[in-house]
Amino acid sequence: MPLEISAVNSTPLCLEYAHMQYDYKYCPICKNELNTREEGGLERKRCSDRECEFVLWNNPTPVLAAVAHRNDEVVLVQSIGWPAHWFSLITGFMEAGETPEEGIAREVKEEIGLDCKVGELLGVYEFIQMNQIIIAYDVILSEGEIIIDREELVDFKTIRSGELKPWPSGTGQAVKKWLSQRGIENKELEFKKLKKS
């Protein structure tokens, strides 16, 4: 699913997502209404039934991201529904029972059809608007043809590291870190230009 939008070396855009919160009205366990109560300075929704202990914690969801590359070229992908010039990193939700490294290798295989070697952790970045936390890895792609998952993606492109510009949000900061490890300091795309006009 689309998590974040960026464009590289063209007109950059970024979606302004509404605050992504799971907004349950009823308790998923006992079906009673949820009440909002303040606790330790934070408002939380709790089940109105005193016997039930359900609290809606609304913790951020871990999302994995890959600066996926081979032969000095990074692969960026475009999800279904994005404008034609929007591309971002390969990303996906972490699944139960897998390590982050296994998860990102699975996502890379699913999205572009290639095996890969998961390298070092580039960083962990907030994505507050989507209530997500982005865990980004350096990913070295195997040889072979890129075949994108047409149920999720419409297109991909490869960009040489020297031409890849980072962007302000989490995945873009992972790109910036990856570039800096190669001694590349490409100018960051400005956030105001990332907004849809």
Q: What does the binding site for Zn ion look like in residue numbers (CB under 5 A)?
A: 27, 29-30, 47, 49, 52, 54
CB of 48 to Zn ion, least distance (A): 8
**CB-nearer residue toward Zn ion: 20 or 56:** 56
Q: Which residue's structure tokens are 């890379």?
A: 108
Neighbours of 21 (CB within 10 A): 11
- Give the containing element (helix H, strand E) for 121: strand 116-127
Minimum Å gap between C-beta 56 and Zn ion is 10
Q: What is the Cα–Cα distance from 109 to 125, expressed in whole angstroms? A: 23
Nearest to residue 93, comparing CAs of 65, 128, 131? 65
Q: Give least dist CB 29 to Zn ion, A.
A: 5
Output the six-digit token pair for 14.
Answer: 């970024």
**Residue 12 three-state SS:** coil
Measure the CA–CA gap between 38 and 19, rounded to whole angstroms. 20
CB 62 within 8 A of CB 154: no
State the minimum distance, in angstroms, from the CB of residue 24 to Zn ion. Answer: 10
| Residue 45 Cβ vs Zn ion, minimum distance, rounded to whole Å | 11
Q: How many CA atoms lie within 13 A of 192 on its CB side?
A: 0
Report how far residue 10's alpha carbon sits from residue 158's, in angstroms, rounded to the nearest whole number.
14
